[in-house]
Structure 1
Amino acid sequence: MSGSLTGAALLRDATANRGTAFSEAERDALGLRGLLPPAVETPERQVARVIDNLKRQASDLDRYCWLMALRERSELLFQRALLDHLAELLPLVYTPTVGQACQQFGRIFQAPRGLYVTARDRGRVRELLRRWPAGPVRAIVVTDGSRILGLGDLGANGMGIPIGKLDLYSACGGIAPGSCLPVMLDVGTDNATLRDDPFYLGLRQPRLQDDDYDALLEEFVSAVQECFPGVLLQFEDFSNRHAFALLARYRERLCCFNDDIQGTGAMGLAAVNSALRITGGKLTGQRLLFVGAGEAALGIATMVKAAMVAQGLSLEQARERCWLLDTQGLLVAGRPGLPAHKQPHAQPRAPLADLEQAISVLQPTVLIGASGMGQLFSQPVLHALARHCERPVVFALSNPTAKAECSAQQAYEWTEGRAIFAAGSPFAPVELAGRTLVPGQANNAYIFPGVGLGLLASGATRVSDAMFFAAAAALAAQVKDADLASGRIFPGQDRLREVALAVAVAVATTAWRDGLATQPRPDDPELAILASMYRPGYPACAA
């Protein structure tokens, strides 16, 4: 466990320090006697102290900072607390609190974590990657900070996102933290407020553009392949300008995916299918209106249309059932200046510029917000939706909470309790007309940890669309009748590790079936993958 470390050096090593959980025998053998209080505590008692301290903090951002400091003292205790209290701590280490943490990143900075590759490092990116001391690296989450959640360009402050994502890879997906590498590609920022902030820790220059940007990305990806062969690379929170192009450029070259596009797509498809278990309708009979036409909306729309085609519709019929509305109105064919990544979703019809008008004309059964515009689903909008749809499905996916298109309370009240609601941020249950309605949290944490685990378990060389279809089906199958009875279309977050295992088995099985795996298929994939999942260095934790 501790290798050659003893005494105070062992207690200062966050990856090996168990603090007061070291036994009497270990204290003698490792030179720890006298360096710790005399009490020998169970991991459960240590975790209870963590939770007690968190409750004493004044705000969620303070709780986030406290947890980050804990990890610098003991990765083991941090991971054990996260695993034991997943539903409670997930909103702190990731959405919605991580958005506020990114906004304040320079002010709350305590200790470096991860790797920073900057615009000034052209020609020596391999050297930087080889300096990484931990390993072997199996999973990398990388961002350039250009589109952090719904907050826009946060530059180097966006490092909080890869850190948080990889925390969930470990807690949910069972990928050891020592195998995870968060990377910030600091190519500058066009956020002038950040560049003028005295506490900003990134490059104070405009973003790299065009050929210079592409060259740095190419050098980074090539260095990753050379330094960490077989690694999983996840692109995270890149702007629309680069996200689609990077995915297209690299998806056939190494094992990589974009969680904002593909992970969100699988999560959204699973959510729609779960909602249909309540309404009783068929996917091919739905009309979907997406408000926002960025990575999340396009990712879900692409997955839904492909699923409709698989269920018997032609591609044209599927397209006619999925509409997208951005800040300039409905995506229609012939609209001047329509970006290439939006063009496949544009349809021939007269323009519609107003959301309420689009609802009245298109009469959607599913309304999906991925706009980054808080309170966009106003009372008139939801009234218009409820007028033509008995059980409207409403997803307010934008993060953090302030960016949500509406709250759970609003969605339920303004549809007389008939809406099936989920949001990107957590909302409390709502009491309405003697009923308790439990909103789901449409979080990619239900997808990407299991996808990553399945890819690594199978040694996948590429990430295929079929894997995300398998992931969506596995997630939907984890939603229980009791969840649906309360209106919730996702499993409880206390089951995220269980969900990740199911998703991993589905993804790995697809890799083995389609010839994309380099690891042999075990006789019992579920048992083998479960056995491979990381658990903090304490007595075994249940999956």
Structure 2
Amino acid sequence: MSKQSSLSGYDLLRSPRLNRGTAFTESERRQYGLDGLLPPGVSSLQLQVARTHAELANLDNDLQKYLLLSDLQARNETLFYATVMSDPASFMPLVYTPTVGEACQKFDHIFRATRGMYVPISARGRVKELLSNWPEQDVRFIVVTDGERILGLGDLGVGGMGIPIGKLSLYTACAGVPPQYCMPVMLDVGTNNAKLLNDPLYLGLRQERVRGDDYYAFVGEFVAAVQERYPKCCVQWEDFANFNAVPLLAQYKDKICTYNDDIQGTAAVALAGVFAALRISGQKLTEQRFLFLGGGSAATGIAELISQAMALEGLTIDAARARNTLFDVNGLMVKSRQDLADFQKPFAVDHAPVSSFADAVSALKPTGVIGVSTVPKLFNQQVIEAMASINERPIIFPYSNPTSRSECTAEEAYRWSSGRAIFASGSPFPPVEYEGRTFVPGQGNNVYIFPAVGMAVFATEASRVTEEMFIVAAKAVAEQVTEESLATGLIYPPQSKILEASLHVATRVAECIFDQNLARVPRPDDIAAHIRACAYKPAYPA
């Protein structure tokens, strides 16, 4: 209550971190000048959560529920997290994907209370000054976007801020990272979305995107300002276009504590799905061959992490990469193509050109197909049936978000494979009834990875984030899938138990951080207990 003692009356009720609303006791109301400012009834936190559930139940669409939760987060942070953590499986799709996609698209038309830091390129030379306006002096996590490639929705400009806000909410709700250490950031360099530029309600810079040296100099100023002001901070890059995401990660990953969730988090959750799928098929990782639909940073990130994991199991890295092949809008990525970016070239194969994805499946005979194209319905009946003719248990992972961009539905994958597909998707699908069996589709959601990695980094004050940490995280996710879940086709832990799953993953990653001598705190005797002691719990102070 020491912080609260400096605030009283309406100021206290308007502080989301300190406000308790109707949970303020009678003595607290007298002490802090709240008498008369609240209805006389005193509610417990549990009763406030129940009231919020009832409010949400009366709303008839998910965007309205998103807005109610956003308003709650801006008013009473403890109640917001207590609500979300009371039923994470139900609330994650509301505070993040898929609902956040619609919220980002309509950001300028539904804007309410501000949250996070907006750093426009027009403030070049003053970035450190802007960061000094943030009220917290110790920031450990920044999720930052420039809004150019939001989910599968494209350039949403300043509206992309919904993504860092949502991601950081999940850091807390799913893994216990204390919210006061988190800061969402929008780097506004303009937008090439003409609809936004012509919208009078658009809230971002009204200019086309800045490119090239000016762009990278601006990002460099931001990174330097963060390092100076918040030396223990980890920067997570989020939803940058491929041609910026890859070089930014390459430039900073060995210099600061940083990672890109679209590249590394997506890769780790896909690898976790592969590890669990192999428990169903009974095969070895080194026996797998994957064909990716999509050739961007997500595809190459997954392909590289799978390759690194294969190398740990005995293959050379070149042999491992040869088992991970990419297919994009111009066809199979073969060595003779002249349009490949440097980050794609390690996965180019010595093969004749193939322009049809179904033909590529027949030619390469993959054990699994992984979709990160953001183009719906490309895992069509011909593709799924071809995979089922080649494999007893074909791995079908349409990972594109949101649901409208998924390469196929769960029902299509199970039906066209005669119930033999090992399926996981990027967005949620309901259970599927097929020939007397009930299949429970898994959601390859990065939420199994990034909050846990964040918690491990927070608890160890890690100086770097390495590729090995993501392989460790993937194995830690997969080892928690029960035999009962595997029997229904579910290859990820239930999201209803995401906090326990994340703390387990965080413990494994923290062990890796200590083993790599990347921690800035002493190694505790009991790492799992240390992780739990660091975790945020939504409760009003006694």
TM tier, smaller = over 0.9
Task: Report the secondary structure of 1:65's partner residue.
Answer: helix
Equivalent in the alignment of 2:411: 409
1:163 pairs with one of 142, 162, 165: 165
Equivalent in the alignment of 1:19: 21
Structure 1 position 398 matched with structure 2 position 430: no
**1:314-393 correspondence runs (5 A):** 314-393=316-395
Q: Distance in 2 between matches of 1:142 and 1:213?
A: 15
Q: Distance in 2 between matches of 1:459 and 1:102?
A: 32
Identical-pair percentage: 53
Q: 2:339 is aligned with what amino acid? A: G
Q: Distance in 2 between matches of 1:475 and 1:447?
A: 8
**1:249-260 correspondence runs (5 A):** 249-260=251-262
Equivalent in the alignment of 1:286: 288
Q: 1:116 is aligned with what amino acid? A: Y
Q: Distance in 2 between matches of 1:405 and 1:49?
A: 39
2:303 pairs with one of 293, 301, 304: 301
- The answer to whether the Cα contact below 8 Å between 1:137 and 1:180 also exists between their aligned partners in 2 is yes
- Alpha-carbon shift at residue 537 of structure 1 (Å): 2.9
**1:99-248 correspondence runs (5 A):** 99-248=101-250
Task: Report the secondary structure of 2:175's partner residue.
Answer: coil
Q: 1:323 is aligned with what amino acid? A: T
1:501 pairs with one of 497, 500, 503: 503
Q: Distance in 1 between matches of 2:384 and 2:16?
A: 50
Q: Distance in 2 between matches of 1:198 and 1:168?
A: 32
Per-residue CA shift, 1:98-124, capped at 9, x if unaligned?
111111111111111111111101111
- Alpha-carbon shift at residue 51 of structure 1 (Å): 1.2
Per-residue CA shift, 1:220-255, capped at 9, x if unaligned?
000000011110110111111011100110111110
2:456 pairs with one of 454, 457, 463: 454
- The answer to whether the Cα contact below 8 Å between 1:423 and 1:440 also exists between their aligned partners in 2 is yes
Q: 1:315 is aligned with what amino acid? A: I
- The answer to whether the Cα contact below 8 Å between 2:45 and 2:539 also exists between their aligned partners in 1 is no
Equivalent in the alignment of 2:426: 424
1:266 pairs with one of 261, 265, 268: 268
Structure 1 position 516 matched with structure 2 position 489: no
Q: Distance in 2 between matches of 1:534 and 1:47?
A: 17
Equivalent in the alignment of 1:90: 92
Q: 1:454 is aligned with what amino acid? A: A
Range 36-45 or range 166-175, more displaced: 36-45
- Alpha-carbon shift at residue 29 of structure 1 (Å): 2.6
- Alpha-carbon shift at residue 279 of structure 1 (Å): 1.1
Q: Distance in 2 between matches of 1:168 and 1:41?
A: 26
Q: 2:79 is aligned with what amino acid? A: L
How many residue pairs end up in the alignment?
Answer: 540
Task: Report the secondary structure of 2:327's partner residue.
Answer: strand
**1:35-74 correspondence runs (5 A):** 35-74=37-76
Task: Report the secondary structure of 1:367's partner residue.
Answer: strand
Range 32-41 or range 64-73, more displaced: 32-41
Q: 1:25 is aligned with what amino acid? A: S
Q: Distance in 2 between matches of 1:103 and 1:252?
A: 34
- Alpha-carbon shift at residue 46 of structure 1 (Å): 0.9
TM-score normalised to structure 2 length: 0.98
Q: Distance in 1 between matches of 2:181 and 2:299?
A: 31
Equivalent in the alignment of 2:277: 275
- Alpha-carbon shift at residue 3 of structure 1 (Å): 3.2
Q: 2:373 is aligned with what amino acid? A: S
2:9 pairs with one of 7, 16, 20: 7
- Alpha-carbon shift at residue 85 of structure 1 (Å): 1.4
- Alpha-carbon shift at residue 510 of structure 1 (Å): 1.2
- The answer to whether the Cα contact below 8 Å between 1:395 and 1:422 also exists between their aligned partners in 2 is yes
Q: Distance in 2 between matches of 1:350 and 1:205?
A: 43
- The answer to whether the Cα contact below 8 Å between 1:135 and 1:178 also exists between their aligned partners in 2 is no
Q: Distance in 1 between matches of 2:227 and 2:5?
A: 29
Per-residue CA shift, 1:462-515, capped at 9, x if unaligned?
111111111111111121222111110000111111122112112221111111
Q: Distance in 2 between matches of 1:3 and 1:506?
A: 40
Task: Report the secondary structure of 2:225's partner residue.
Answer: helix
Q: Distance in 2 between matches of 1:405 and 1:255?
A: 34
Q: Distance in 2 between matches of 1:491 and 1:3?
A: 43
Per-residue CA shift, 1:178-234, capped at 9, x if unaligned?
211000000011111111122211111111111110110110000000011110110
Range 380-389 or range 363-372, more displaced: 380-389
**1:72-83 correspondence runs (5 A):** 72-83=74-85
Q: Distance in 2 between matches of 1:454 and 1:315?
A: 28
Per-residue CA shift, 1:356-402, capped at 9, x if unaligned?
10111111111110000011111122112111212111111100110
Structure 1 position 531 matched with structure 2 position 533: yes
Q: Distance in 2 between matches of 1:18 and 1:60?
A: 26
Q: Distance in 1 between matches of 2:341 and 2:250?
A: 15
Q: Distance in 2 between matches of 1:507 and 1:401?
A: 30
Task: Report the secondary structure of 1:181's partner residue.
Answer: strand
- Alpha-carbon shift at residue 539 of structure 1 (Å): 7.5
Q: 1:421 is aligned with what amino acid? A: F
Q: Distance in 1 between matches of 2:168 and 2:318?
A: 39
Q: Distance in 1 between matches of 2:421 and 2:8?
A: 59
TM-score normalised to structure 1 length: 0.97
- Alpha-carbon shift at residue 137 of structure 1 (Å): 1.0
- Alpha-carbon shift at residue 315 of structure 1 (Å): 2.4
Per-residue CA shift, 1:298-342, capped at 9, x if unaligned?
111101111111111222322232111011011111311211111
Unmatched runs of 5 consecutive residues or more in structure 2: none
- The answer to whether the Cα contact below 8 Å between 1:333 and 1:343 also exists between their aligned partners in 2 is yes
Q: Distance in 2 between matches of 1:487 and 1:291?
A: 22
CA RMSD of aligned residues (A): 1.3
